[in-house]
Chain A
Amino acid sequence: MTAEVQIRSVSHRFQSFTALEGIDLEIAAGEFIVLLGPSGCGKTTLLSIIGGFLTPSEGEVLIGGRDMTRVAPKDRPTTTMFQDYALFPHMNLRDNVAFGLRMRGVGRKARHDRALEMLEMVGLAAFAARKPHALSGGQRQRVALARALAVEPDVLLLDEPLGALDLKLRRQMQDELKNIQRKVGTTFIHVTHDQEEAMAIADRIVVMNRGHIEHFGTPEDVYLRPRTLFSADFMGEMNRIPVRREGGTSISPLGPLPFDLGEGLLCLRPENIGFDGSFSMGRARLQEVAFFGTHHRCHFVPLKAPDLTLTVNLPQGAHPAPGAEVELFGRDPVLLSEDV
């Protein structure tokens, strides 16, 4: 069961505060979408609007081609996995998972079978008779997922479901979510503020900031070819080098560049600077270095621009010595204008 979701010029205001402004979004059936942004960016508001817990001040929401803007949550083909799991403490796991089917008038035997099947899928079939308080956080998480999927929604909404888990468990749950999503084919819309999580699970990421969409694209797109400075910064560390244009060539403090991108800020990820690349960035002195396990994190000061500092992630093998002067090369540069 799956469906596409269309958001058409949705705006939402809480009294005088504008939480969402002119949101347009086309989500294909069966996609794993992540709404990503800092707190207060409107991602949770957008999720609530899709789930029917809020009615937008303007605009409409279509699910599977049908207008759902004013339809109550119980009548929508969506279910939500809540941040605090929201399991029913007085019911055992089987009854928790079967609750939605019970509300739909499914017979006892059929709904219990289905509930066990769902618990099987999340690896908790053995605990069917337990109550939620006897479970760990990660296990409750899975029950919440099984409960939300038991009614075969077209769209599953996930409201920062991994926020309360520790890092290791979170990574593990991310893989599991992705697997389950592939298995059931339901459209997943997942809210998070963790960009690593977003890239790990999303087919496409919606980067949000102050009530509007900054960038909507695949993880590679959003990370490597960010459209705005905000999404460039939010997705990870970024070196910014101001660039101006003079007589058909782009000039940076490091010298003229071998290509013409225009004016603005030249953005380079720390791992896209190194001892080889598509263009030279001139010589620089290594100031500090720290070992991060997967890479060496280095701060270089370009000889031509001593007031700039470049953050460079060098691979483990390369062992630069502080004070050394080397020539740096860059690749995959992105030029972004400053005012957006």
Chain B
Amino acid sequence: MRTLSWVYLGAIFTFILLPVVVLVIFSFQDGRLPVPPFKGATLKWYAKILGDRDLMDALVNSMMVAILSSLVAVTLGFLAASGLARAALPGSALMRGLLIAPMTVSYLIIGLGLLQMFNQVGIRPSLLATGIGHVVINLPLCFAILYAAIGEHQKSALQAARDLGAREWQVLWHVAAPMLAPSLAAAFFLSFTFSWDEFIIAFLLTRFDVTLPVEIWSMLRSGLSPATNAVGSLVFLVSVAVVVTLELTLFRKGSK
């Protein structure tokens, strides 16, 4: 029985991780195609992509869009959650529902909607437009995480702060934000990874400056190459780094 569980565990991890492992292995392929047989290890594809100006520009763009859009999404989500947790307004439930609703809509639909709306108001497809799109998809997530994190204990501490003479921004800055720091960080990092990987909205809303997933997609159109594997490995490395950071800092703290 015990052996069987270990076998099962091994099988499931193989199933989940095998594609990634293959991708990473063939990024070192000393040949023109990232397919078996493995012909020996080389770092030349990494050298190639790191020397590729367009790709590196896209990487920087992605990083900027991810960081800025996540900051905006977390800030807006924090303000909305604090406000709705503070007072029971008529229609609070409706407002919460509306804030979370975009989660249920596919990225493709959101992207198309934004594309049409941006056309109307004259915002050209750009990194800014993509960033706004990423705020749209990440705000519901940030709101949901933060709203759930505000419990009775927080509420009475906020009330105490007001009672002691704090203005509303002081309450948020000195008490609410520090008390919610773990949730704020979790919301930020999740938003970051979602924005970092996001393709459809970025594809629809960028034109000249593109994000990394869009650049990779255009590389793929010219056929398979170990270089695309190398880029994929880099993207994966960043995501893993974020998740590991989260795991080591926030989640460990929470489980103490």
A joins B in a complex: yes
Q: Does A151 contact B (CB under 8 A)?
A: yes
Q: Does B124 contact A (CB under 8 A)?
A: no
Q: Does A302 contact B (CB under 8 A)?
A: no
A87 to B178, CA, bound (A): 13
A68-104 interface (Cβ within 8 A of B): 72-75, 78-80, 82, 84, 86-91, 99-100, 102-104
Q: Does B170 contact A (CB under 8 A)?
A: yes
B179 & A100 in contact (Cβ 8 Å cutoff): no
Q: Does A147 contact B (CB under 8 A)?
A: yes
B165 & A88 in contact (Cβ 8 Å cutoff): no
A74 & B167 in contact (Cβ 8 Å cutoff): yes
B155-181 interface (Cβ within 8 A of A): 156-157, 159-167, 170, 174-175, 178-179, 181
Could you tell me the distance in whole angstroms from the C-beta of B160 to the nearest C-beta in chain A?
4
Q: How many A-B residue pairs have CB under 8 A?
A: 63
- Neighbouring B residues of A53 by C-beta, 8 Å: 159, 163
Could you tell me the distance in whole angstroms from the C-beta of A29 to the nearest C-beta in chain B?
21
The 8 Å CB contact of B157, one of A72, A88, A102, A148, is A88
Given A89-B179, A90-B178, is A100 in contact with B164 using a C-beta cutoff of 8 Å? yes
The 8 Å CB contact of B160, one of A78, A82, A90, A102, is A82
Q: Does A226 contact B (CB under 8 A)?
A: no
Could you tell me the distance in whole angstroms from the C-beta of A112 to the nearest C-beta in chain B?
16
B163 & A73 in contact (Cβ 8 Å cutoff): yes
A82 & B156 in contact (Cβ 8 Å cutoff): yes
Q: Does B153 contact A (CB under 8 A)?
A: yes
A79 to B161, CA, bound (A): 10
A103 to B173, CA, bound (A): 12
A72 to B181, CA, bound (A): 28
A88 & B175 in contact (Cβ 8 Å cutoff): yes
B190-216 interface (Cβ within 8 A of A): none
Number of B residues near A (Cβ < 8 Å) is 19
B167 & A88 in contact (Cβ 8 Å cutoff): no
B159 & A82 in contact (Cβ 8 Å cutoff): yes
A82 to B153, CA, bound (A): 11
Q: Does A330 contact B (CB under 8 A)?
A: no
- Neighbouring A residues of B181 by C-beta, 8 Å: 90
Could you tell me the distance in whole angstroms from the C-beta of A1 to the nearest C-beta in chain B?
14
A53 to B156, CA, bound (A): 12
B153 & A79 in contact (Cβ 8 Å cutoff): no
- Neighbouring A residues of B166 by C-beta, 8 Å: 74, 99, 103
The 8 Å CB contact of B163, one of A80, A87, A91, is A80
A87 to B179, CA, bound (A): 11
B interface secondary structure, majority: helix
Could you tell me the distance in whole angstroms from the C-beta of A326 to the nearest C-beta in chain B?
55
- Neighbouring A residues of B160 by C-beta, 8 Å: 80, 82, 86-88, 147
B179 & A90 in contact (Cβ 8 Å cutoff): yes
Could you tell me the distance in whole angstroms from the C-beta of B95 to the nearest C-beta in chain A?
21
- Neighbouring B residues of A86 by C-beta, 8 Å: 153, 156-157, 159-160
Q: Does A51 contact B (CB under 8 A)?
A: yes
A88 to B180, CA, bound (A): 12
Given A84-B153, A88-B175, A88-B179, is A100 in contact with B159 using a C-beta cutoff of 8 Å? no
Interface string of A44-81 (1 = CB under 8 A from B): 00000001010000000000000000001111001110
A79 to B159, CA, bound (A): 11
Given A84-B153, A86-B159, is A151 in contact with B165 using a C-beta cutoff of 8 Å? yes
- Neighbouring B residues of A75 by C-beta, 8 Å: 165
- Neighbouring A residues of B161 by C-beta, 8 Å: 88, 99, 103
Could you tell me the distance in whole angstroms from the C-beta of B156 to the nearest C-beta in chain A?
4
Could you tell me the distance in whole angstroms from the C-beta of B143 to the nearest C-beta in chain A?
22
Identity of the chain B residue whose Cβ is nearest the Cβ of A75 in the assembled complex: B165
B165 & A74 in contact (Cβ 8 Å cutoff): yes
- Neighbouring B residues of A74 by C-beta, 8 Å: 162-167
A103 & B164 in contact (Cβ 8 Å cutoff): yes
Q: Which of A51, A73, A75, A91 has the most CB of B within 10 A?
A: A73
Interface string of A253-295 (1 = CB under 8 A from B): 0000000000000000000000000000000000000000000
B164 & A99 in contact (Cβ 8 Å cutoff): yes
A100 to B161, CA, bound (A): 8
A151 to B178, CA, bound (A): 23
- Neighbouring A residues of B178 by C-beta, 8 Å: 88, 90-91
B156 & A84 in contact (Cβ 8 Å cutoff): yes
A89-134 interface (Cβ within 8 A of B): 89-91, 99-100, 102-104
Enumerate 25 A-B pairs (CB-CB under 8 Å) in ascending A order.
Answer: A53-B163, A73-B162, A73-B163, A74-B166, A74-B167, A75-B165, A79-B163, A79-B164, A82-B160, A86-B159, A87-B157, A88-B161, A88-B179, A89-B179, A90-B181, A91-B178, A99-B164, A99-B166, A99-B174, A100-B164, A103-B164, A103-B166, A147-B160, A147-B164, A151-B165
Interface residues of A, Cβ cutoff 8 Å to B: 51, 53, 72-75, 78-80, 82, 84, 86-91, 99-100, 102-104, 147-148, 151
Name the 4 nearest CB pairs between A and B, nearest first.
A100-B164, A86-B160, A103-B165, A86-B156
